Structure 1
Amino acid sequence: MASHINTHSLPYLPGNTFSDPTKSRFHVPQTLDFKNGFALKHKPEVGIGGEPIHQNALNEDDLNELANFKPTLTYGQAKQAPPEEFIPSHVAFDKKVLLFNGYFKQTVYESSAEYYRVRPVKIYYYLEDDTISVMEPPVENSGIPQGKLIRRQRLPKEDATGEHYTYKDIKINDTVTFYGKVFHITSCDVWTKEYLTSQGLVVNNFVESPPDPYEEDRKRRNAPKTFTTKSDFDKLNQFLTLDRKVLRFFCIWDDRDAMFGDVRPFIIHYYLADDTLEVREVHKTPEGRDRNDGRDPFPLLLTRMRVPKNLYDIPPSFPTISMEAKETEHQEYFTPEDFMIGNTVTMMNRRFLIYDMDKFTQEFYRYNYGIKSFEPVPVGPPACDAPKMYIPPYNGFGSLEDSLGSCFHLEPQPPRKDFIKMLSNDHNNLRFLAQMDDNDENENADREFIIYFSLATDTFMIYEVPARNTGRLAGKFLMRTRIPKPGCDINEPEFYGPQDLAIGDVVYVFNRRFKIKDADVFVLNYLKENKHKFPGIDRTIKSLENLHANNQLGVGMIMDSQAPAGLSDTRKAELVQTLSEQLRRAHFNRFFSIREAFLKLDFNRDKYVQPEELAHFISQLNIPIETYLIKEIFKVIDTNHDGKISWEEFIEFIEAAGCQDG
């Protein structure tokens, strides 16, 4: 009798579960579908083999009610607790970062000094978004690019599962692998330790980072070395008794066997305090003059040290190819017994002949070694005539001082100047009016020149006075230079000075003759005040005083001085005529109207021309008229005698002088 057994009504206990032998379908229901060309996945409606799925009979509301159901108390149902306030993770964990300290080992290839290098790192874990960044603190003079090793990001834990590292995966005294590089975690900061403890995690004990092999070897090699050497000689007693006592020997090094070698003098100093010696070069002759040997003036050939007698007397086991022998490696060193007069001492493969010593060294040998004769060995070179230096004749290029500078120095230096004379006589010029004296050419007889003599540099500068309808360009005739007298020696020239510039004298300027006709008042005053400086100046002063007596001194010159008393009306008229001529030469008549000419003089626009304005305008035009003469001209123009020139007075002056255009 076949009976149907309902397996779902049996209790779910061992022994009551068995497979249905009549079941033949075991296919998995389909959960994939396509809609509008997109693949979709839905929940299965039937189980394996087409069996119905036993779903929960309770709906979602019933399940929520059961989850929040609380058993009733004695006095009724308890109050439901209010739901907690929701705070996003990026707000709750903002600026909260876990810090772990660690290191990783970097393999070093092709180096005998180290096989691996220990590089410390700091791992930062950001709680707000579970990102990690790895930083390497910089080490000075390491030569390795340091700083940010891994930028801030979520680091994958396993590529297959797609999981990422969290703070629970980073443990003290453990390793983590970021992109194939293994980092050893050694410690963390205090806040990180407290946070991990609050989350129920156990924080392991901190560990120390292993030392870097190269750094340890470097510290060991650079550590100060200490040695303890036993000695039976009292060096302190030697220093106290023989300090500042030095033996001095005079010697020569004969190096004439070598190419370009010669005999060179030296001085050997032997210090009795510590048995050291030094060899000093001698760059002076026995007479005390500098020796022109062409060598650099180094003071020492051999610095102060203990010098062994045999430089190569060292043990054969000593590695001379990589190390330098110390004092303990040599057997014998030089002593005072080796430096006798006449002995040849070989130091550093150089042979030094001792030919003399000083007085203290002689007393030392007389007291300690009983030597009484200290005759020096003659080592002087054979006598010969020293070449004499002569100065070549002047070739005419440049000044005489510049040519002499190339004879005295390899790199010519500018000649020295008398700065006191230049400062005391700055802007002091003697000015003379001269006429070209040419016997053969009559067309140059009417050419007038102004000669400037600078008292600061003793140089001349000549300007030609402009003249109308001559066809010659006036202006600078000779630039500033010194003028030698004719007939003097070209190598020892004699230059013109103030004593040679008298009225009526002729000055020869490079094959040109200038006859002096006039001078300004400053020349007379200066020569009187400095009469003692210039011999033979009385004739020049006398000729200038004669012109001063005839009221002819200072025509057409500029120089501040006191005005002579009592100018005649004829003299004033000549001054006005001179000013009008100078204004015409300065193109004063090219103004479009007389009003523009008046405005050119009236700087402050007060409708009047003041004496200062007239003097300022004349100085701008470079018209050679003295200051006191300008005042006299102003008095002639000022007909109202009120101290200022009005518009009407200016028109009268222009019409009288004939300066207007047309």
Structure 2
Amino acid sequence: MRQPRDAPAWLKHDKQVLRFYGFFQETVTERPDENARYRHVSIMFHMEDGTMSMNEPKVENSGIAQGSFLKRQKVWREDGLAYIGPDDLRVGSEITIFGRTIHISGCDRFTRWFFEQNGISLPPEEPMVEDEWHKTYKLRKSIEKGQKPLTKAQVEDAWIQKWGAKNLAKFMSGAPHVDMKFTQFALNERKVLRFKAFWDDHTPYGARMYFIIHYFLADNTVEINMAQCRNSGRDAYPMFMKRGPLSKTNQVLAVPGLLAAEGQIYYPQDFLVGASINVWGRKLVIYDCDDATQKFYKEYLDIDQRKGCIDVSEKPVTHLKLTPVPHTGVGREEDSLINCQMIQPKPPKVDLERLMLYHGEILRFECKMMNGEPEDELRRLVIAYYLADDEVAVFEVPVRNSGHMGGRFSEKRRMKNPDTGEYFKIGEAWLTFRSSVSSARISHAAELFASMFATKDLFVGQTVTIAAQPLQITRADEHCLQYLEAHPDEFPYASPVACARRLLPLAADPEVQDERGIEPERLKELAAKAGVSLIDHELVTLLRHFGVPPESEDQQPRIIGPHALECAG
């Protein structure tokens, strides 16, 4: 069925509200013109869920917070046995809600029709009751709108209140009218002294606050406004002190309404730039004034206000750039960095030119573990460096009876060298070094490049740490050696000319000049004595270009020193 046969209350009485009008009496203290006031409310009973709410219409200048009087909720009866329902609301009756007794004086047309449909007849509407304040309020509003003229007594009271009984007696006796305040007002109307001041709030979470002080010469009153900057985080309340006389000392009366002795107020000679004033317990320091104020003090008081100006300009703020959070190790570091920089992250850009140029180029280095464990001495691993994306993978070569299975030792990914804290690279250090050295000095500077091998990552003889295991590179495959030798500018340890030039300090040694050649280990010892540190990869390069094969299996290959020195020359 589209509609149930017995509709529930929330469906049958949806959006149906019973509205009653009522009032309650409230005591008013410390008022000479009234001792009680009637407060009118609108009671709304929501039929769908049995909740009630009350609103009080707002009356201008009533002095009472009005509006929502009771939030929508279920209300218990005074006896506490059940909730208030429609049977408890009748015109002319009284109902107690949270300790307030409200007299119901009327209802709207829908409420009266609803009760008639249910066979209940409501009493007629009662007249609206008014207290003395409402009567006076209506009379005052009608007089303001010009609906009723002022009485003679009101006009006389207003005139006497304006001019004062003393001045009225002078006029009636024929004495001349002399009023110093009126004379000051006539001469100094619209003349205002403008000062700039600040207050250092030393309370917790306090800060320096700036103000604009206006001193009105017409009546010796002071007005203080706040000078807030944009996005200061404070509420937009421009008025700090309402216009009025500013006393030098203030006191709080213990008894309300008790008259206090008039204190000494501030005069223009008290507002000096560089000095401070007391504003209700706050020390305001005056640091500047405008040109008109400075001119006034110079002409009338012979005071130069510019001498006491205080520089309040703040030092330029140096914003520190926040460093990205450390990488957790999950995923790629580039992806995590973009997630910190963008709300809607984008995938990092890929160097397509490099990807297509070096696709399939893999440099493989054979290595062994150097952790000192006897069971790991026979293990052999291969480090694969992918030139297309600088990723590194490590595979273990199966060795019979080693006790370890071959296969993937470390998955393919971008790895950081724990010794340098940067990703594994090949050849980048030499390109940076070459761009900073002129081509005329490159041959001599190549000798100094030996000290930069510590920044290189992968070459024969280097020990790198991967997966917390120290791996010493023992050799490289033929494709890797050919690639490194094809790019001598990027890889100087694979350049035969650069390696031969490093032997120049050994040119006078007879063992190097021997035509039969010299063993690599002996050449490394002689170079170390001469102050030249040769690495294993340089020895491999010298053997590949200036070496002779061994005559027997027991002998080692030898490097022909004269040929290498001739190439270096």
TM-score normalised by the chain length of structure 2: 0.36
More helix by share: 2
Flag the structure with more relative contact order, 1 or 2, with Cα contacts below 8 A and sequence separation at least 6. Answer: 2
TM-score normalised by the chain length of structure 1: 0.32
The structure number with the bigger radius of gyration is 1
